[in-house]
Amino acid sequence: MDAFAALREGVRQLCQRFPASYWRDCDRDRAYPEAFLSAMTEAGYLAALIPERYGGVGLGVMEASVILEEVNRSGGNAAQCHAQMYTMGTLLRHGSEEQKQRWLPDIAAGRLRLQAFGVTEPGAGSDTTHLETTAVWDGDHYRVTGQKIFISRVQHSDYLLLLARTTPIDQVTRRSDGLSVFMVDLREALQDGLFVQPIETMMNHETNALFFDGVSVPRENLIGEEGQGFSYILDGMNAERILIAGECLGDGYFFIDRATAYARERVVFNRPIGQNQGIQFPLARAYAHLRAADLMRTQAAERFDQGEPSGEEANLAKLLASEASWEAANAAIQTHGGYGFAVDYDIERKFRETRLFQVAPVSTNLILAYIGEHVLDLPRSY
């Protein structure tokens, strides 16, 4: 008995209103799925993790991960949903009561979008503590100067959660000190020195290079304590990994659903192709890996929601789920033969989309490095 059957059913019903043709059109036109996002917001799913006292639904990361899974399993793409879910966690855990009252009810109601998260920089890459964007206090405001890359959904968000250096790296004891988190009002910043340059990618994913030229950010938009921002971002990483694992699982099950249906129906050499072990076994193997990753996702989410340490499980879940979804994608495209490459079958689109998860939001090597260092107690490799 699936404890989340009703939740899954609700998301599935909503997703049925956005069939494959909707996602195909968005993909072809590189369009933001506005109608889908509005429906998800109205149904309360995007406010799943916001507590009820701020107008949200007050669910756990487990439920949120299931919501994203169902979106991806339906053939859709939850990339626009997940960011709001995990980005607002920083505000929720580290913002002042005044800040939470100021933003969370509007986010929950869909009046404000907090869907952009600005960490990655061209110079630093995965080495976040070496980021070079600075926020310097000028006696009145912080002034943000620097460059970010691959910052998604900026053109469709009202706020960006920004990580910037407030104390130079040579003046801190640990390089993770001296970084701070800000809520940047994008509507104001665009009039005040923020330049956005879109980056085209292989799938429909609005992402951008950002150039900050002395953008002013008021003190009341600093989240938590100045200089502690890196630990706030790290705090949110486990939730992010569990949510992303949910999306990977959804993709993986989508591929298995579609490929098994196709393999039962497609007849070549007078028999369904699914009768051939060469078609059957890769699907069975990918399914086994998906189920195992699913268990790890559940364990990670349960630990997270009970307030227990979940770093190991969250990292394992993200690693296993992203690899299982990619394995299922490969098996599905092979099962479909030439049709796997035809846009109308949706396999090629989902194939492109699911590949991202081994690179972003965090790459597989960095997850392995976490497991090596923090779980297996091996010397730090980077």
Ligand X SMILES: Cc1cc2nc3c(=O)[nH]c(=O)nc-3n(C[C@H](O)[C@H](O)[C@H](O)COP(=O)(O)OP(=O)(O)OC[C@H]3O[C@@H](n4cnc5c(N)ncnc54)[C@H](O)[C@@H]3O)c2cc1C
- State how far the Cα of 312 lies from the Cα of 172, in Å rounded to an integer: 28
User: Does 299 participate in binding ligand X (rule CB under 6 A)?
Assistant: no
What is the rounded CA–CA span in Å between residue 264 and residue 230? 50
CB of 177 to ligand X, least distance (A): 20
**347-366 b/e (C-beta count within 10 Å ≥ 16 → b):** bbbbbbbbbbbbeebbeeee
Q: Please, which residue, 75 or 118, has the CB nearer to ligand X? A: 118
**Cα angle value 84/233/373 (rounded, 5°):** 125
Contact between 310 and 238 under an 8 Å Cβ cutoff? The reply is yes
**Contact 163/131 with Cβ under 8 angstroms?**
yes
**Binding residues for ligand X restricted to 243-262, rule: CB under 6 A:** none
Q: What is the rounded distance in angstroms from the CA atom of residue 252 to the CA atom of residue 289? A: 10
Q: Which of residues 189-218 bind ligand X (CB under 6 A)?
A: 201, 205, 207
Interaction of residue 360 with ligand X, rule CB under 6 A: yes
Min CB(181)–ligand X separation in Å: 12
Does position 56 bind ligand X by CB under 6 A?
no
Asked if residue 363 binds ligand X (CB under 6 A), the reply is yes
Please give the size of the binding site for ligand X, defined by CB under 6 A.
23
Q: Does 382 bind ligand X (CB under 6 A)?
A: yes
Q: How far is the CB of 248 from ligand X (least distance, A)?
A: 15
From residue 108 to residue 127, the character string flagging contacts with ligand X as x (rule: CB under 6 A) and all else as - is: ---------xxxx----xx-
Tell me: does residue 89 bind ligand X (CB under 6 A): no
Nearest-angstrom CA–CA distance, 193 and 147: 12
- Binding flag, residue 38, ligand X (CB under 6 A): no
The CA-CA-CA angle for residues 156, 161, 165, to 5°, reads: 135
Residue nearest ligand X, CB atom distance: 125
Contact stretch for ligand X (CB under 6 A) within 48-56, 147-155, 235-243, 340-348: 147-155
Is 150 among the residues that bind ligand X (CB under 6 A)? yes
Q: How many CB atoms lie within 10 A of CB 329?
A: 25
276: left (phi over 0), alpha (psi -120 to 50) or beta: beta
Binding letters toward ligand X, positions 320-359, x by CB under 6 A: ------------------------------------x--x
> Residue 46: how many CB atoms within 10 A of its CB?
29
| Residues found near ligand X in the complex (CB under 6 A) | 117-120, 125-126, 150-152, 201, 205, 207, 356, 359-363, 365-366, 369, 381-382
